[in-house]
Amino acid sequence: MNIVIIDKKEAEIKTTTSQLIINTQKIPFNLIDTIIIEGKTTLQTQDINRLSKNGISIILLKSNRYVASIISAYNNKNANLKISQYRASLKPTNIAKELLKIKINAHILHLKEHNIILNKSRYMQNINSAKTLDELLGIEGSFSKLYFSHYFKLFPKNLHNNKRTKRPPKDPLNAVMSWLYTIFYHTITVKLIASGFEPNIGYLHRPFRDHNALSSDILEVIRADINQFIFTLFNNNLLSKESFTKKGDAVYLKYEDRKSIYPYFQEFQAQLDTKITNAITLIRSML
């Protein structure tokens, strides 16, 4: 997936029949799959229609940066696939088990890279013996709590409160986690729609209101990669405590610091694209 990120104050976005124009920068449509827009911009209806006709989806990150809207270039047809999704969702445990195994394996390997060893076999046994989704969610919750208790210790104490906080995140580490999780959640949604899936129908996560449960399912597969990327950003001094600002109870990544890591994010996103595609293919094969 080729992503263009527009995060400029008062950016003016226009299109021609073959190009996206951001202020004076010109990008051919054939080099773009998805546009992520953050901040105030000018974008006309005719430009949105032109982007859509050229197969380019738009993700609009809102001011708090932890929610977004999607303008999809795809009409989300493929009724047979959606029927198969729905039928599988009535008995979700088989798919949920596979996703949970992938998640736990990836997170255990991630901690092992930092010389932290967890007992994988115990979790695999519990997953295999689980009969219900509630049991699997209990295993997932227990594992996540243990994982984060180790993960936070990889960072200086001035970056976190030693626990996962969100909506809003209350420290720098949680702020960048929420920001990146949000971006990937929505790019996964775009990829699912393009593949003909209904993103609301998930297996490890339950559908709820406008929650794209299947996007969250696939996000679990790559969370450990995102967490390692975050570790790299701080460890290489690309981000620091001074990169963040506090507004009320919430902590946010500053505009200039956000801009400075976009090149690293785009390289990282390209590396993860195959893993996301493989997870979508796995779910399709199990329907």
**237-280 per-position pLDDT tens digit:** 999 999 999 988 899 999 899 989 999 999 999 999 999 999 99
The pLDDT score that the predictor gives to residue 86 is 95
Last residue of a domain, one of 27, 45, 71: 71
Last residue of a domain, one of 21, 46, 71: 71
Structural domain including 41 reads 3-71
Last residue of a domain, one of 22, 46, 71: 71
The pLDDT score that the predictor gives to residue 74 is 78
What confidence tens digit (pLDDT) does each residue in 146-182 have? 999 999 999 999 999 998 988 889 999 999 999 999 9
Same domain assignment for residues 43 and 91: no
Q: Is the pLDDT of residue 137 over 90?
A: yes
Same domain assignment for residues 102 and 10: no
Same domain assignment for residues 52 and 92: no
Same domain assignment for residues 64 and 88: no
Same domain assignment for residues 41 and 95: no
Same domain assignment for residues 148 and 19: no
**∠ CA(6), CA(8), CA(13), 5° rounding?**
60
The DSSP annotation for the chain comes to --EEEE--TTEEEEE-SSEEEETTEEEEGGG-SEEEEES-EE--HHHHHHHHHTT-EEEEE-TTSS-EEEE-SS----HHHHHHHHHHHHSTHHHHHHHHHHHHHHHHHHHHTTT----HHHHHHHHHH--SHHHHHHHHHHHHHHHHHHHGGGS-GGG--SS---SS--SHHHHHHHHHHHHHHHHHHHHHHHTT--TT--SSSPPBTTB-HHHHHHHHHHHHHHHHHHHHHHHTTSS-GGGEEEETTEEEE-HHHHHHHHHHHHHHHHHHHHHHHHHHHHHHHH-
Determine the average pLDDT of the residues in 62-66: 63
Determine the average pLDDT of the residues in 193-205: 94
Torsion of CA 278, 279, 283, 284, to 10 degrees: -30
On average, the pLDDT of the chain sits at: 92
Same domain assignment for residues 61 and 130: no
How would residue 123 be classed by pLDDT, with cut points 50, 70 and 90? very high
268 contacts: CB under 8 Å, gap ≥ 6: 225, 229
Same domain assignment for residues 168 and 43: no
CATH number at residue 62: 3.100.10.20
Same domain assignment for residues 83 and 67: no
Total domain count, the chain: 2
pTM for this model (two decimals): 0.92
Same domain assignment for residues 123 and 218: yes
Determine the average pLDDT of the residues in 124-145: 96
Highest mean pLDDT among 9-13, 110-114, 210-214: 110-114
Same domain assignment for residues 102 and 179: yes
Same domain assignment for residues 122 and 205: yes
